[in-house]
Amino acid sequence: MTVSRKQINFLRGWPTPGLLPTTLLSSASQRVLANQDEYTKMQEYGSCHGVTRLRKGLADWVGSHYGVTPNLERICITGGASQNLVCILQCFSDVNYTRAVWVVAPCYHLACGIFEDNGFAGRLYAVHEDDEGIDLETFDRQLQEFENQDKPNRDLKPFKQPSVERKLYRHLIYTVPTCSNPSGLTMSLSRREGLVRLARKYDGLVISDDVYDFLQWPLTAPVTPDRSAEMRLPRLCDIDRSMGPSDNDSRGFGHAVSNGSFSKMSGPSVRTGWAEASPPFITAIARTAATRSAGAPSQLCAAMLADVVENGQLQRFVDETVRPTLQRRHRLMMDAIDRHLSPLGVKARTSSLNGFETFGGYFVWLDMGGEVSTTFLAQVLKAEENVIIGHGQMFAVHGDEKRTNFTNSARLCFAWEAEQDIVDGIERIGQLLVRMKQNREHYLRLASTSYNIH
Ligand SMILES: Cc1ncc(COP(=O)(O)O)c(C=O)c1O
């Protein structure tokens, strides 16, 4: 079948243009650039910790959201979550000393490459999760077994120069605990606490991409600025903070860092985010050599964001535009799935936090069932329906793909395509699944021959 239909892309994890706050940023830039005191400072090199007004605005915002005491010293401005992951690795990992990177699977696939670029290729290990989050017993066992067999490497000399301003961790743990990319899952409070305890026990650092925390909504009730407790679960860095000093950490760096981002709230192009952790941890990030040379990233955008965080416009945009838009799009996708895919045996995660009526983030995670892998399905969908999906194995941990099996899973983004295309795209997937059932032998043959993937 040849395709002439418009492409529908469920793989792209971008905000739809209506979620870009153009007017808001335009007026913020005019205010910043109209004020001579402000614009001169903002166009020069900035301080290492980043624009103070934004750090203060964020401390107040996250403080009231999570119910924690605002503390400017726990926050520095970054160039977004991806860029800051690199900074974290520069300061707190060492290819000799840091023995393993544990990645909760299915994972945000593009994070794997960042660890690999920093010397950890072949040392990424998948951590299994169930409907509540990380399976802690299995993870504890994995860590213990790893420690036992890794004994000969315990005394390897660190590759990097030791520094009193930094700490090297033996283990890194990468997770997206709230409305995860790709699974949509939110880790329960007890699993969060257990994870931090494991990080402390094994001298680990939890790197938590908290990029969807503010993007949560009730499944059916109208979106309001007030969020229920399950939409404000403590971050891993808050849990670590509440546990006080740990045995493996005499200098108080802590065992968890929150990697925040404006990408999903004010458009990814601002390339601005923030890190939150203990003050020594944050100072170390702020003093990476590149930041000392050039100042914190995204200085001018950070000044614009400081303006709209300080006057509350960004928070209102998130509550009045972003969350309701995502709620509506998610509903449209789920309704279309109920109509066109559920009768064919496809299952979708319906809520982010097990037992609660909430959802968040950008993605729906499907269990397609079926006899062929979603790797194959994705290829046929593109060829026959011009629909692009993220097939499950894309989100397996690089180098440890065999430990977890996502060959029946798929990720669909509801934030990018036009609303009608979301509905049409799901219908097209349904049409292909029906054809596959009706022409089973044909597609099984195709799966084992021309596409060579099953
Ligand atoms: C889990 C996760 N981390 C990081 C990013 C990228 O964040 P940033 O744009 O702040 O680099 C994304 C974007 O999709 C993401 O889903």
Bridge partners, 129 (sequence order): 134
* The total number of structural domains that make up the chain: 2
Contact residues of ligand 1, CB 6 A cut-off: 13, 80-82, 108, 176, 181, 209, 211, 261, 263, 268, 273
- 303 and 358 co-located in one domain: no
Longest dimension (CA), the chain: 72
Nearest to 143 by CA among 84, 206, 61, 187: 206
User: Domain boundary at 269, 296, 314, which?
Assistant: 314
In this structure, are 275 and 392 located in the same domain? no
Q: Is residue 261 part of a domain?
A: yes
Closest atom of ligand 1 to 180 CA is: 1
- 140 and 47 both lie in a single domain: yes
Is 3 inside a domain boundary? no
Q: How far apart are CA 365 and CA 411, in angstroms?
A: 5
Probe residue for ligand 1, chosen from 259, 261, 262, 274 as the CB with the greatest number of ligand atoms within 8 Å: 261
For residue 440, CA distances in Å to 433, 434, 445, 446 come to 10, 10, 9, 10
Query: Which of 72-95 are b and which e, b meaning 16 or more Cβ less than 10 Å from the residue's Cβ?
Result: eebbbbbbbbbbbbbbbbbbbbbe
Q: Same domain for 218 and 119?
A: yes
Residue 335's domain is classified under what CATH number? 3.90.1150.10
Question: What type of residue is 31?
Answer: R
67 lies in some domain: yes
Same domain, 353 and 267: no
User: Measuring CA to CA, which residue among 263, 419, 406 is closest to residue 329?
Assistant: 419
Could you tell me if 46 and 292 are in contact, meaning their C-beta atoms sit under 8 angstroms apart?
A: no
Say yes or no: 141 and 155 in one domain: yes
CATH assignment of the domain containing 190: 3.40.640.10
For ligand 1, what atom is nearest to the CA of residue 262? 10
Nearest alpha-carbon partner for 57 in 312, 402, 407? 312
| Å from CA of 407 to ligand 1 middle | 24
369 and 387 part of one domain: yes
Choice from 211, 276, 301 to test ligand 1 binding pocket (greatest atom count within 8 A of CB): 211
The parts of the chain modelled with pLDDT lower than 50 are 452-454
Q: Are residues 414 and 303 in the same domain?
A: no
User: Which parts of 171-243 fold into alpha helices (H)?
Assistant: 189-201, 236-243
Q: Which of 275, 295, 314 is the last residue of a domain?
A: 314
What pLDDT was estimated at residue 449?
A: 80
Q: Which of 266, 294, 314 is the last residue of a domain?
A: 314
Which residues, listed in sequence order, are joined to residue 126 by a DSSP beta bridge? 103
Closest-lying ligand 1 atom to the alpha carbon of residue 81:
10
Ligand 1 center from residue 210 Cα (angstroms): 9
Instruction: Identify whether residues 62 and 199 lie together within a single domain.
Output: yes
Q: Whole domain around residue 116: which residue ranges?
A: 22-314
Q: Give domain status of residue 236, yes or no.
A: yes
Give the per-residue pLDDT at 450.
60
What is the rounded distance in angstroms from the CA atom of residue 272 to the CA atom of residue 374? 34
Question: What is the whole-number distance in angstroms between the Cα of residue 211 and the centre of ligand 1?
Answer: 6
Q: Which atom of ligand 1 lies closest to the CA of 264?
A: 9
Cα of 179 from ligand 1 centre, angstroms = 12
Q: Based on the domain organization, do 261 and 405 belong to the same domain?
A: no
Pair 64, 92 in one domain: yes
Residue 110 domain flag: yes
Do 279 and 396 fall into the same domain?
A: no
